Amino acid sequence: MKFIDLFAGIGGIKIGFENAGFRCVFSNDFDEYAKITYDLNFSEIFEADKQMVLGDIQKIPASKIPDFNILCGGFPCQPFSIAGYKQGFKDENGRGNLFFDIVRILKAKQPNAFLLENVKNLKTHDKGNTLRIILENLEKKLGYFVKVKVLNTMEYGNLPQNRERIYIVGFLDQKAYDKFSFPEKVKLTKTIHDCLEEKNVDEKYYYNDKPLYEVLKKEVKKRNTVYQWRRKYVRENKNNVCPTLTANMGMGGHNVPLVLSGIGIRKLTPRECANFQGFPKNYKLPDIADSHLYKQFGNSVSIPVIQRIAQNINNALTN
């Protein structure tokens, strides 16, 4: 079955769905740096001389999108995020209104199913009115049967990252809807050391010779713990997993989680952020500024969680 990947970023949803047996026929994002990373890793040509279609989805007619079975979209979460401005649909940059482009494409194409992903805060944003409007559009205006659940990566993806996200899954056929269920919890067997690069870490990631080191060394003392510098204090994550990776990591080193290695105190590398999101080892990182890479992985998805949901969607549609 075919799917399209809107707000595709660097292809996390694409990898999860392809691992579950689907085929991507269209991918779009407006971030030129995300396209660099995406194109480096995926060789499909969706249009003449293009891989990911770079551009504003608001300006792409549904008629220009090939037919597909499933729409996937991790639509921009900053307007609804605690870490963002929490403006929702009123976001001054128009990002909150991009949900209605999903509605536009669903109405025109009427695919069998969809998967939407966003921050947990979407569920309670504006006292629940934002989610209510979303569900009204999907259910009453478009006729989809919809299920919603918040899943934590550390509970559903066997990745040591505390990452709660809301997943919205819909089906045109009620029989498929009845057969679908979100995945069950799985035991967390991986530790942070499964995601850390223990050797050959560039010295630029270390704080040993930087002014902040004198403050950090008083608090960062455990090898099995991930820490955060919160501008004025050090926060210890006591559940022995990585805190939520965010797009804000690309806006300054203070947002990047910290660890203690045998050499000293350092921040996570972009590759380690990829590991905490479940990207495969052969996923390539382009030669662009770390700030862009941090933002990309913070904006991305936890691939094992996406893959498990995609497998259940596949089962619901094919059985």
First to last CA, the chain: 13
**Distance between CA atoms of residues 245 and 261, nearest Å:** 20
**Distance between CA atoms of residues 304 and 296, nearest Å:** 17
What's the mean pLDDT in 64-88? 72
**Distance between CA atoms of residues 278 and 304, nearest Å:** 6
pLDDT of 79 strictly over 70 = no
**Distance between CA atoms of residues 114 and 215, nearest Å:** 47
Q: Which of 92-96, 256-260, 308-312 has the lowest mean pLDDT?
A: 92-96
Task: Tell me which residues are annotated as active site.
Answer: 77
What's the mean pLDDT in 276-301? 96
Residues 109 and 247 in one domain: no
Percent of the chain with pLDDT over 70: 91
Residues 41 and 181 in one domain: yes
pLDDT of 86 strictly over 60 = no
Q: How confident is the model at residue 48, as a pLDDT?
A: 46
Residues 208 and 309 in one domain: no
Residues 199 and 182 in one domain: no
Supply angle C-alpha 240, 243, 245, rounded to 5: 145
Residues 119 and 150 in one domain: yes
Residues 303 and 184 in one domain: yes
Residues 169 and 267 in one domain: no
Most confident among 121-135, 226-240, 273-287 (mean pLDDT): 273-287
Residues 69 and 11 in one domain: yes
Residue that the structure tokens 């933002």 belong to: 295
pLDDT band at 296 (very low <50, low <70, confident <90, very high): very high
Residues 145 and 228 in one domain: no
- Expressed as residue numbers, the domain containing 105 is 2-188+298-318
Largest CA distance in the chain: 61
- The first and second tokens of residue 99, run together, are 């949900």
CA 102 to chain centre: 17
pLDDT of 78 strictly over 70 = no
| 298 or 76: which leads in pLDDT | 298
Q: How confident is the model at residue 210, as a pLDDT?
A: 83
**Distance between CA atoms of residues 163 and 152, nearest Å:** 5
Q: How confident is the model at residue 89, as a pLDDT?
A: 54
Residues 101 and 243 in one domain: no
Q: Which of 9-13, 143-147, 233-237, 251-255 has the lowest mean pLDDT?
A: 251-255
| 251 or 80: which leads in pLDDT | 251
Which of 273, 26, 310, 298 lies closest to 167, judged by CA? Answer: 310
3-state secondary structure of 26: strand
| 146 or 237: which leads in pLDDT | 146
Q: How confident is the model at residue 33, as a pLDDT?
A: 96
pLDDT of 77 strictly over 70 = no
**Distance between CA atoms of residues 39 and 209, nearest Å:** 37
Q: How confident is the model at residue 88, as a pLDDT?
A: 47
Q: How confident is the model at residue 29, as a pLDDT?
A: 94
Tens of pLDDT, residue by residue over 18-73, are 999 999 999 999 999 999 999 999 987 776 456 788 998 989 999 999 999 999 99
Tens of pLDDT, residue by residue over 177-223, are 999 999 999 999 999 999 999 888 999 999 988 888 988 999 999 99
Residues 17 and 101 in one domain: yes
pTM comes to: 0.92
If one counts the domains in the chain, the total is: 2
**Distance between CA atoms of residues 310 and 290, nearest Å:** 30
